[in-house]
Amino acid sequence: MFYQKTKIRYHGLEIAKNRITRDHADATKSRTIIVNNISAFNDLDFVIEAASENVDLKRSIFSELDKITKSDAILATNTSSISITKIAAATKRPEKVIGMHFMNPVPVMKLVEIIPGLSTSEETLNTTLSFAAKMGKTCTKSQDVPGFAANRILMPYINEAVIVLEQGISSRDDIDTTMKLGTNVPMGPLRLADFIGLDTCLAIMKVLHQEIGDTKYRPAVLLQKYVDAGWLGRKSGRGFYDDY
């Protein structure tokens, strides 16, 4: 069940690349119910929020969920950088709040990073790990620190690639080819940033910079410019690449 203002997109690209079959996509769609009111979540046992990377928005959603859902329901957030403890504090059940950072694209990527908050109970953690395993996911755990483990490593890497482009040290294609073939990753950092969403990358870098206070996490000027221009990557049709 989904509550959102935008429509769920059909994964035509994933089908075209043989990452999932059309039957798989159709079966998934058939099990999806789109609702327009969050009150429809009143009888759910487990809720996963996947709103934009904005702490005020997430806290507002969790405050609503806390009032509407059953008292024993687990409330998970798909945040990629924001404090689970801070989000949980918007509820009266912080022991039932946990982070589930799904890697993108979710149907393809096997990893889910699990992040307990300060008050998350062992029962909530174990239930979440079991739930993710039933989805066919592999779980890793991280402490509740800015960026957790995945983005504490990944986002500075992407940000530095943007700085290298900004300073004219290397071209877009040479940066991505160097990292793709030189480190045996499936795509270069600039293409990866486009897939993640440049606005999401910027939001995460801002969280790292503000919360940790180290200048090494300062977002690249060019990254901010692209977001200001509305060049958000694949979802907007243009980012560092424009072949979407």
User: Please, are residues 164 and 170 in contact by the beta-carbon 8 Å criterion?
Assistant: yes
Radius of gyration for the alpha carbons in the chain, expressed in angstroms and rounded: 19
**Is the peptide bond prior to 116 cis by the omega test (within 30 degrees of 0)?**
no
168: left (phi over 0), alpha (psi -120 to 50) or beta: left
**How far is 185 from 181, CA to CA, in rounded Å?**
7
CA angle 179, 185, 188 (to 5 degrees): 45
Active site residue 24: no
Catalytic residue IDs: 101
